[in-house]
Amino acid sequence: MMVSFFDQFASPLYLGIPLIAIAITLPWVLYPTPSSRWINNRLITVQGWLINRFTNQLMLPLNMGGHKWALLLVSLMIFLITINMLGLLPYTFTPTTQLSLNMGFAVPLWLATVIIGMRNRPTVALGHLLPEGTPIPLIPVLIIIETISLFIRPLALGVRLTANLTAGHLLIQLIATAVFVLLPMMPTVAILTATVLFLLTLLEVAVAMIQAYVFVLLLSLYLQENV
Over residues 17-35, the mean pLDDT reads 76
Q: What is the percent of the chain where pLDDT is above 90? A: 21
What does pTM read for this prediction?
0.83
Over residues 197-219, the mean pLDDT reads 92
The answer to whether residue 178 sits within a structural domain is: yes
The answer to whether residue 50 sits within a structural domain is: no
The answer to whether residue 47 sits within a structural domain is: no
pLDDT tens track for 80-109: 998 888 888 887 788 888 888 899 999 999
Residue 137 structural domain: 1-30+61-226
User: Residue 2 pLDDT > 80, yes or no?
Assistant: no
Let me know: does 212 contact 80? Beta carbons within 8 Å.
yes
Over residues 142-171, the mean pLDDT reads 89
User: Residue 36 pLDDT > 50, yes or no?
Assistant: yes
pLDDT reported for residue 134: 74
Question: Could you give the number of structural domains in the chain?
Answer: 1
pLDDT reported for residue 6: 65
